[in-house]
Amino acid sequence: MALSFEQGPIRPPSEAASLLLRLTRNCPWNKCAFCRSYKGETFSRRSVEEIKNDIDTVVKLCRSVREISRKSGFGGLLNLDMLIKLYNSGDYQLFHVASWLHNGGKTVFLQDANSLVMKTADVVEILKYLKERLPSIERVTTYARSSTLARKSVEELTALKQAGLSRIHVGMESGSDEVLKLINKGATAQQHIEAGRRVKQSGISLSEYVILGMGGKQWAREHALETARVLNMINPDFIRLRSLTVAEGTPLSQKVQNGEFEEETEAEVLTGEKLFIEHLDGIQSNLVSDHSMNLLEEVQGKLPADKPAMLATIDRFLALPEREKQNFILGKRWGVYRVLPGLPPRLTGWKKRANTRQPCLT
């Protein structure tokens, strides 16, 4: 029987090379109007013993990978030929572990949506066991909700840091209480602030996620200004930008259909992004645009030094004639363009190139 360990469905893009290890199943809140990741699924905590057994399984898989490499004539090395062989074997988890080792075996992401809802002592025990059994690990990260973090003491978070937790990813989405209520986030602006400050005080690296366009037309300005205000009070290590995509079957899509929520145009979203960045003051965060659905992925950098360049890029797009704006939008959404500087002067250039490419929407 093939060795296996439990894994969840999602992780941040920045954790693409990480080992995925599941502490909790699904999301304890699971009511956000825009999210469909865990809809129809039940939340549960896994036991410390289950998780330790999974860690032991990963150790065994690491040994299996090395043994297969030696028997295949690769001398225990994890080169491309070896990875192809494991991928073709159909054993996804063996391939996942091999890919992780190939990337250095240094990073781990703890799943699912809110691992820190577990007792702090249990997570500390798991972290210590993880580092003991896999000593190559240098960074361990996880998702957590602000409402959960706001209930953790700084002492608890510090204990997690000392046990090996390196970074926490928080889906803030917005700093506006009106928007948070609209999307049923289950957290307030003040909870975001309190949670973020506690994480920072503990020494754990903090990534806050912001969804551009989340306020819709009605709350566009408040969304931008209040989100900037909240982040200014937290000073997170990373601000990660996402663009709103209304997924079919979500409560937000129903709000769109019944007229409760009106989506912004691409240009309006960028206008809001500009207003948001303009009001990020007194912080030293890294603003990161690490998702292909962001129209201008190149709008990123270190605050405050790169702020003028980021705003200049948005201004460059907003100053384009309407036809060229639409040219770039269509080309970006179809995978023809990646960044603004590649924009040709006329729409015919897009048509010619588009015939040779398939849509790329993720």
Say whether pLDDT at 357 is over 80.
Answer: no
Which one is predicted more confidently, 357 or 306?
306
C-alpha dist (Å) from residue 274 to 90, 214, 220, 287, 296? 46, 14, 12, 13, 11
In angstroms, rounded to a whole number, what is the distance separating the alpha carbons of residues 210 and 179?
A: 12
Section 175-179 average pLDDT: 98
Complete DSSP assignment for 152-185? S-HHHHHHHHHHT--EEEEEEE-S-HHHHHHTT-
Q: How confident is the model over 322-341, as a mean pLDDT?
A: 90
The token pair that represents 109 in the structure block: 């992401």
Question: Residue 161 class from Cβ within 10 Å (0-12 exposed, 13-18 middle, 19+ buried)?
Answer: middle
Q: Domains in the chain and their CATH numbers? A: 1-143 (no CATH), 145-318 (3.30.750.200), 320-354 (no CATH)
Task: State residue 79's pLDDT score.
Answer: 84
Q: Check residue 108 and give its pLDDT.
A: 98
pTM of the model: 0.90
Q: Closest Cα to residue 240, out of 308, 172, 192?
A: 172
Decide the pairing of beta strands 19-22 and 107-111. parallel
Burial of 262 (0-12, 13-18, 19+ CB in 10 A): exposed
pLDDT digits (tens, 9 = 90+) for 263-295: 999 999 999 999 999 999 999 999 999 998 999
Q: Can you tell me the mean pLDDT for 165-169?
A: 98
pLDDT in tens, 307-319: 999 999 999 999 9
What does R_g of the chain's alpha carbons equal in angstroms?
A: 22
Average pLDDT (53-62) is 97
Task: Kindly report the length of the chain.
Answer: 362
